[in-house]
Amino acid sequence: MHESSKEANNQYLLEIGLEEMPAGMILPAVKQLKIAAEKSLESNPVAIGKSSTVFFSKKTCIAHFRTS
């Protein structure tokens, strides 16, 4: 199997719809998701990995996890 194919298979994406969430709650929710993801990665590094990224817009929040 090609090395880039292996890397692509070791990634996870969590998408949360924010359509019904009031605008003032989006940034705090994104911050909480990032903190929770980092804590999860610290306590489960073998199962999940060591890197995460959180993206957001006014309608969606996305957490990207990459396994080690």
Q: Give CA–CA dist 11/1, Å, rounded.
A: 16
pLDDT tens for 30-59 read 888 888 877 877 776 655 555 678 888 888
Q: Tell me the three state secondary structure of residue 50.
A: coil
Q: What is the pLDDT of residues 12-26, one digit of tens each?
A: 788 888 888 888 988
Supply the range of the domain harboring residue 42: 3-66
Round to whole Å and give the CA distance between 13 and 62. Answer: 7
Tell me the residue ranges of DSSP E strands in the chain: 11-17, 51-56, 60-66
- Asked whether 63 and 25 are in contact (CB, 8 A), the reply is no
Q: How many domains does the chain have?
A: 1
- What pTM value is reported for the model? 0.58
pLDDT band at 6 (very low <50, low <70, confident <90, very high): low
